[in-house]
Amino acid sequence: MSREKLSERDVCTKYITPAITNSGWDLHRQIREEVSFTNGRVVAKGSVYTRKKSKRADYILYYKPNIPIAIVEAKDMKHSVGSGMQQALEYAEMLDIPFVFSTNGKGFLFHDRTGNNEVVEQELAMNQFPSPEELWKKYREWKGLSSQEEKVFTYDYYVDGSGKEPRYYQRVAINRTVEAVAKGQDRLLLVMATGTGKTYTAFQIIWRLWKSKKKKRILFLADRNILVDQTKTNDFKPFGDKMTKIEKRTVNKAYEIYLALYQGVSGVEEDKNIYRQFSPDFFDLIVIDECHRGSAAEDSSWREILEYFSSATQIGLTATPKETKDVSNIDYFGEPIYTYSLKQGIDDGFLAPYRVIRYTLDKDVEGWRPEKGQTDTYGYEIEDRIYNQKDFDRQLIIDDRTKTIAMKVTEYLKNTDPYQKTIIFCVNINHAERMRQAMVNENADMVSENRKYIMRITGDDEEGKRELDNFIHPDEPYPVIAVTSKLMTTGVDAQTCKLIILDSNINSMTEFKQIIGRGTRINEEFSKYSFTIMDFRNATRLFADPAFDGPPESVYEPSENDPATPPEDEEDRDEHGVKGFPQGEHDEGWGDDDWSRDEEVNEKPQVYTVDDVKVKVLNERVQYIGEDGKLITESLTDYTKKTVRKEFSSLDDFLRKWKSADKKEAIIQELLEQGVLLDALQEEVGEDMDPFDLICHVAFDQKPLTRKERAQNVKKRDYFTKYGEQARKVLEALLNKYADAGIEHIEDIQVLKLPPFDEYGSMIEIVKMFGGKQQYQEAVRELEQEIYTA
């Protein structure tokens, strides 16, 4: 056989792999072939989900496990030697790999990304591929690693024998951090979207620094008990008896790994600052989880802990670095050493995409003003002014607004899945309790089945907090609906949460990102691939903010007479004016909700309640996330037309592609991968049309036919008369299947195992009616041609 006719895989086996191994690379320890390093973006397809193709490298070469240093992109011999280079460079950038090769089996094109060579790209003969030692020498010089730093940097990852290994972005974060610490950097910031495994990443960083003896005593700080307990039980479990959790304000200095709550080691009174029982140099590494909260503020009580242990290396972890004019993570920790964003996570298929349903309520738009002398439900005269959205549930309670929202949420649940895990975010605890009551009344049938169908889970309610673990656990069916205010904004690993309700005034980008993060996890075992956001406060306007998914930027710019560090952040004060404690596990409390209606104490209540004002939904708009990670703001039909016409220049171009495809499913998959939202389009334009008619109609302004109309046209043409009686019955059943379910369902031969086809015999017997598998497939193709004949 001519070498030009060899497949890409043949070229790899016969020429490329031997060239690499002959240069000294160990086939079993240092070479991995066909490495898929992303999962492929999740795409909705009817009631099921599919994935785009994952990114796959032909070869990744490792100096040792989890330290990749070279990538090789292979092509067959019909391609030029450098035809794979651009793809390889894209992958190398994602994987943080400096040495990049493209090959067609006749030679290599070598690209050096280190910037240390005058010649960036050069061609090499097949017998000139660099050895591991050559590339590692270049790598060390690029990184500037001393022998001691190299020892720390190359220390092994923890391996549990289960086959679990870090995802590519976790590996980049771990390696960059370990390298920086090995070189003596003492303040580091890692930014990773919620649901991407920050705690596992932290564990591997600590493990390698601890086992290499670079760091001996380590403190892991968090601000929620559930975070500390989850960490100790799950990711940090391998530390075993070397690890302890600081509890009940008691200190035992015999351990090496310490886990603690900020609140558990500090307080307003000096005797509660038990962290001072440790000497300032006791810890040489501190990892701060969710560092965007209290510790970001320079004079917070949390920051005092970090400054007390200032000689320790400190690593901040967050999904949402806090960068405002008042407070800065970057000011303290420095620029992020690595950022993995929500957009990247969704593109890679590690995080769930979302859609937004925005509701506009009449009183939110128009505002509400009481009549002169009007009193509220409790007899208090209502202050005469216009109340608007930011006042509702803080200054003014409109009962019907709460009931209307509960009704719309219930309507959505009953139309989709009433058992999908749902979180409703409210303004405060009082609002959360009223929302719970409204939801109970709207879902009386579900509550009668199980009283825990709806639970308020807030900081002041012990029974509610006890149900938090059950809500989080995928195997536990109840509670289904969690009504909260602040407690569940962060640190809650709700893997199966499919619905998030926003009825809270959210102005903080940090809080908004944290709330959205409650829905971003994927759980394939429980069919959680995406989530929906129902927005009643226009909070999702923040999706359009450039800061939503962009790199964090420090915006504090001191003038000549300003202090070098940012001023304090009022957001991080608790109800007593104490800085550093978020409203949450300990401090969510009633706070500004703790209002009284005692007439002798208050002449005017803090909050008015009206029960005779009607609220209407003016508008309901569904929005989807586009390929660029932003919400699609134009109409779905306009977006579809623009997207399709990028791929198909004309109607004729689309028709040619459609008719020439052996399987129409391939074109449908291609449309999905281009970002066409067929599922949403069917809902909006017509569920009884198949993708062909949807595209022709929306993108090329053709009059559409329904599937049933197309099927009826085929029957009118007496197309089936050329087949025998039994074969004709099978084709008629396939046509009916198309009319009911769509073209994809008749292209899969496995459909013959399902009713009504099983009435005509087994799959093998049915295929024999047509003379064999090839003839059967040809008959299906002819049927498709008849279906799509104009």
Q: pLDDT for 231-288, tens place per residue?
A: 999 999 999 999 999 988 888 999 999 999 887 787 666 667 889 999 999 999 999 9
One-letter identity of residue 333: F
- Closest CA relative to residue 320, chosen from 550, 122, 544: 550
Under 8 Å between Cβ of 558 and 564:
yes
Contacts of 462 (CB under 8 A, 6+ apart): none
* Amino acid residing at 742: G
| Beta strands across the sheet bearing 257-261 | 243-245, 257-261, 218-222, 285-288, 313-318, 187-192, 338-340
Rounded to whole angstroms, the Cα distance separating 670 from 660 reads: 14
C-alpha 705/C-alpha 725 separation (Å) is: 29
- The Cα 783–Cα 764 span in angstroms is 20
- Give the pLDDT confidence score for residue 599 in this predicted structure: 41
Contact 283, 240 (CB under 8 A): no
d(CA 415, CA 412) in angstroms, rounded, equals 5
Write out the H or E segment, with its range, that includes residue 83. none
pTM for the complete prediction? 0.80
Helices (H) and strands (E) in the chain, counts: 29, 24
Tell the burial category of 665 from Cβ atoms under 10 Å away from its Cβ (0-12, 13-18, 19+). Answer: middle
First to last CA, the chain: 45
pLDDT per residue as tens digits for the range 58-91: 999 999 999 999 999 999 999 999 999 999 999 9
∠ CA 12-17-20, nearest 5°, is 140
CA 590 – CA 430 distance, rounded (Å) = 8
Closest CA to 540 of 672, 421, 425: 425
Q: Give the model's pLDDT for residue 322.
A: 58
Is residue 617 helix, strand or coil?
strand
Residue 36: beta bridge partners? 56
- How does DSSP classify residue 521? B
Res 597: pLDDT: 40
Per-residue burial over 311-330, b = 16 or more CB atoms within 10 Å of its CB, e = otherwise: ebbbbbbbbbbbbbebbbbb
Instruction: Check residue 537 and give its pLDDT.
Output: 94
Vertex 675: Cα angle to 674 and 681 (nearest 5): 125
Stretches where the chain sits below pLDDT 50 are 295-296, 326, 550-602
* Alpha helices per DSSP H over 550-663: 636-647, 651-660
14: number of Cβ within 10 Å: 12
Give the strands of the sheet with 31-36, arranged side by side.
31-36, 56-64, 67-74, 99-103, 108-112, 121-124
User: What are the two backbone dihedrals, phi and then psi, of residue 481, each rounded to the nearest 5 degrees?
Assistant: -115, 120
CA distance 756 to 746: 13
Tokens of 434: 């009223």
> For the residues of 103-131, what is the DSSP string, one character each?
E-SS-EEEEETTS-SS-SEEEE-GGGPPP
Sign of CA dihedral 338, 342, 345, 348: negative
For residue 513, the model assigns a pLDDT of 84
Task: Kindly report the three-state secondary structure assignment for every residue of 259-317.
Answer: EEEHHHHCCCCHHHCHHHHCCCCCCCEEEECCCCCHHHCCCCHHHHHHHHCCCCEEEEE
Strand partners, 42: 51
